[in-house]
Structure 1
Amino acid sequence: MTASTTRCTTVAKSRTPRASRMAAVAAIAVAGSMLLTACGDQTNKPKQANEPSGPPPIAAPLADRLPQDIRDKGVIKVGSDIAYAPVEFKDKDGKTVGIDPDLADAMSRQLGVRFEFENATFDTLITGLRAKRYDIAMSAMTDTKDRQLGIDSETKKKVGEGVDFVDYFNAGVSIYTKKGADQGIKGWADLCGKKIVVQRGTVSEDLAKAESAKCVKAKKGKITIEAFDNDQQAQTRLRAGGAHAGSSDYPVAAYTVKTSGGGKDFQLVGQQVEAAPYGIAIAKGNTQLRDAIKAAMDAIIANGDYKKVLDKWGVAAGAVTEAKINGGS
C-alpha cells in the first residue's frame, strides 16, 4: 500500500502546464473530495449496525457518585404511584409524564443512568424499598419523621426501619368539592359529620383522621373517611356524589380542579395547610445513592433545569433553593 492511500494530509503538487490549469483544478477537486470521503467525511457512508447514532455522549459529571452496582446496571428503578397528576401520571399515549419524571430526566443527565418508573400503589412504596424492588421511591411523598423512623402514623408503633429522604419540593394539602356545592366547607373544621374521599396512606388521610378525632371530642360528629388506592378513584367517587369533599396535595388538587371536566367538576375550598417537603425516599443505609441523588438535585437547581420543570407544570411556588436530607418534621 502506498503512502498516498494511507495518509490524508498530503496532496502531491501539480506540475500541470498553465494552459491546462483549469482542468487540473477540477481534477484535484474531485480527487480531494474522494480523499475526504475515504478519510474523514462520513456523510454518505452507510452506518454499521453497531455504530452509535448522534453526537458522541457527554460524560455525566456526577456518575462517579453512584454505587458501582447501579452504574453497572445503568438504571435507577423508581417506585411510584403513577396516577397523581401533575406529579406523575400516564398521558393519552400511555407514557409516564409529570413533574417527577421530568426532574428524573434532568437528574439522569447528571448521573449518566436512566430513571425507570415502575407503577405501584402509594401505600406499598416504602415496603417495596425495603424488599429492594426499587432503588428509590419518587411519588409526591411527604417527608415526615414517622416515615424516617418507620413508625405507623396512626398507631405510632414501629413497623420498619424507615427511610431517608432527599427533599426537593414544598407542598401543602388542600380540600376540594364539587363545583358550586361546597356545602359550607371552608376548611377542615367544617368536615365534622361529613364524608371525605382521600388516597390511602397519604397526609390527607392522616389529617382527616386527626380532624375526625377533634370532631368527636367536640361532639360534632365524626368525619367519615373513604380511602382509595389512588387519587383518581377518589375523584371519581366525589364526582359521582359519593362524598362531600376530597383532599390531596395542593399541586394535585389544583390540577384536578383545572382539568377535570374542563374545569367544571370541582373547586378548591379554603387554604392549603400542613406545607411540608416532598422527598425522594431511599432505604436506610444506602447513603451513597442518597448522597448522589442529593448532588444531582442540587446540580439541576443550580443549572436552571429544575426551574424549567416547575415552570412547565405551573408549580413554581413550591420551589426550593437546595435539596435537603430528612428535612421533614
Structure 2
Amino acid sequence: MTARTNRPLPSVEGSRRPSARRRLAAAAAVALTGSLLLTACGDQTGSGGEGGGGEAKSSEAPLFDKLPKDIQSAGVVKVGSDIAYAPVEFYDENDKIAGIDPDLGEALSKQLGVEFEFTNGTFDGLITGLNSGRHDVIMSAMTDTKQRQEGLDDKGEKVGEGVDFVDYFRAGSSILVKKGNPEGIKSLDDLCGETVALQRGTANEELAEAQNEKCDRPIKILAFDKDTEALLQVKQGRAVADINDYPVAAYNAKTSGGGEDFEVVGDQIDAAPYGIAVSKENTQLRDAIKAALDAIIDNGEYQKVLEKWEVTDAAVEEATVNGGK
C-alpha cells in the first residue's frame, strides 16, 4: 500500500493488550449498523446468508470440508472486529475495510472456500458477541491471554465464558523516533533523562513508568489522550520518542509524511500473541482456521500480507492454539 501523503493519519489510540485502555472513541465515530463484506478471491460457492439452514454447499477450496456444516451452508465466516486500529483493521480513504486482519481474512477464505464478513463493533463487546452467536470469530488485534481463555477479569474472577484463540501474530511495544534517529535511541535505557511522548492510560505508559524506576536520570513523560498528539511532540522536537504498539508504530513510520517523519528503532518489547478468537464450543471451526492459517504460512500468502504492511517482525512460523499466557 502506498503512503498517503498530505492526508491525516487514522486516529490510532491505545493498546489492545489487557492492561491498556480499550480503543472505543474512533470505533464509535465510524460505527456501521450493517456488515461490510470482504470478497474472497478463490474458488468458492455461496454469497453469504445466515448460518445453520439449508444443505451444505460444495467448494473446490482445499479446506472447505473441514468447516462446520452451518458455515458451509452460509458461505461466510462472520467476523467481529473493532475496525478502528490502523494498520490492523481500519477504514481507508474510500471507507473500505483495510489492514492486516482483512487481508489475512481474504487469504484464509481462499483456503476455506467461504467469505470472511467483517462487522464493526466496540472492542469490549466482541467476546460477548462471539459467545452469543453474533460472530463466528473475532479478528481485532486481540491479545491471547489466559484470562480471556478462561473468561476471567483482572482479579481472576469468572465474568463470562472463555474463548479459544488461534494465534497468528506477535506484537509488543516499539519506540518511534524522528527519521534518522538524531538522538541515537536504541532501547528503553536510552530514554533515561529524555522526554518521551505517549498515549495516556495505555500499557505503553506503564512501560515508560516501569523503565523510569530503573533510570538514574528520570524520563520526562508527556501523556496525551491521543497518540497523534504524542507523535506531534516527536515531530516538532519536544520529545525524542513515542512508545506505541509495534504494528501501529510501524504504520506511522511508513505513512506519516510519506515515510519521512519517523522510524522504528530497537526490538519489540514484551511481545505477545494476537489471536483469532473462536467459541470454545466450536472446536471444528477453530481447527479449520488453524489449518487454513498454517496453509497460508506455508504457501507464502501470510508473508506477503505482512510485507505489504511492513510488519514482518511480528510473523509466526506456525499457527498455535491458546499460546497466550
TM-score, normalised via structure 2 length: 0.67
207-216 or 86-95: bigger deviation: 207-216
Residue 98 of structure 2 corresponds to 97
Contact 1:216 1:222 in 2 (8 A): no
The question of whether the paired residues in 2 share the 8 Å contact of 1:77 and 1:115 is answered with yes
> Does 2:198 match 1:196?
yes
Matched residue, 1:235: 227
Larger mean CA deviation between 144-153 and 186-195 belongs to: 186-195
Q: Partner of 1:70 in structure 2? A: 71
TM-score, with structure 1 as normaliser:
0.66
How far the C-alpha of 1:81 sits from its partner, in A, is 2.3
The one-letter code matched in structure 1 to 2:295 is A
Q: Rate the CA distance shift 1:276–1:178 in 2: closer, same or farther, 3 A.
A: same
- Residue in 2 aligned with 1:16? none
Residues 237-256 of structure 1: matches in 2 within 5 Å? 237-239=229-231, 241=233, 246-256=242-252
Structure label with greater radius of gyration: 1
- Aligned-pair CA distance for 1:311: 2.6
The question of whether the paired residues in 2 share the 8 Å contact of 1:170 and 1:318 is answered with yes
Q: Is the 8 A contact 1:239 1:265 kept in 2?
A: no
How much does 1:236 deviate? Answer: 2.6
User: 1:280 Cα deviation (Å)?
Assistant: 0.5
Describe the superposition over 1:76-115 as per-residue Cα deviations: whole angstroms up to 9, x where unpaired.
1111222222222222222212221111111112212110
Question: Residues 112 and 128 of structure 1: is their aligned pair in 2 closer, same or farther, counting only changes over 3 Å?
Answer: same
Give identity over the alignment, percent.
55
Give runs of aligned pairs for residues 136-215 of structure 1, distance below 5 A: 136-153=137-154, 155-176=155-176, 187=188, 190=192, 196-197=198-199, 205-206=202-203, 208-209=205-206, 212=209
Q: What is the distance in 2 between the residues matched to 1:213 and 1:162?
A: 30
Q: 1:221 to 1:150 in 2, by over 3 A?
A: farther
Question: CA separation in 2, counterparts of 1:249 and 1:257?
Answer: 12
Q: Distance in 1 between matches of 2:224 and 2:131?
A: 28
SS of the aligned residue for 2:251 comes to helix
Cα distance change on mapping 1:176 and 1:127 into 2, 3 Å = farther
SS of equivalent to 1:126: helix
Q: Secondary structure at the match of 1:107?
A: helix
Match of 2:61 in 1: 60
Q: Are the structure 2 counterparts of residues 209 and 258 from structure 1 closer, same or farther at C-alpha, using a change threshold of 3 Å?
A: same
Structure 1: runs of 5+ lacking an equivalent: 1-53, 228-233
Q: How does 1:39-58 map to 2 (within 5 A)?
A: none
Contact 1:85 1:252 in 2 (8 A): yes
Partner AA of 2:324 in structure 1: G
State the distance in 2 between where 1:209 and 1:322 align. Answer: 31
Cα displacement string for residues 294-327 of structure 1 (whole angstroms, at most 9, x for unaligned residues) = 1111122222222222233323333222211001
1:299 maps to which residue? 295
Match of 2:12 in 1: none
User: What per-residue deviation string (whole Å, max 9, x for no partner) do you get for residues 29-54 of structure 1?
Assistant: xxxxxxxxxxxxxxxxxxxxxxxxx9
In structure 2, give the amino acid aligned to 1:238: A
Are 1:124 and 2:121 matched, yes or no?
no
The aligned counterpart of 1:45 is: none
Say which structure is richer in helix: 1
Kindly tell me: are residues 191 and 103 of structure 1, through their superposed partners in 2, closer, same or farther at Cα, counting changes over 3 Å?
Answer: farther
Contact 2:198–2:244 (CA under 8 A) maintained in structure 1: no
What is the Cα deviation at residue 126 of structure 1? 2.2
Question: Aligned letter for 2:75?
Answer: G
Alignment match, 2:56: none
Give 1:209-288 correspondences, 5 Å limit: 209=206, 212=209, 234-239=226-231, 241=233, 246-268=242-264, 270-288=266-284
Aligned-partner Cα distance in 1 for 2:232–2:88: 24
Contact 1:76 1:116 in 2 (8 A): yes
1:20 paired residue number:
none
Task: Say if 1:106 and 1:300, in contact at 8 Å, map to a contact too.
Answer: yes
Q: Contact 1:78–1:138 at 8 Å: present in 2 too? A: yes
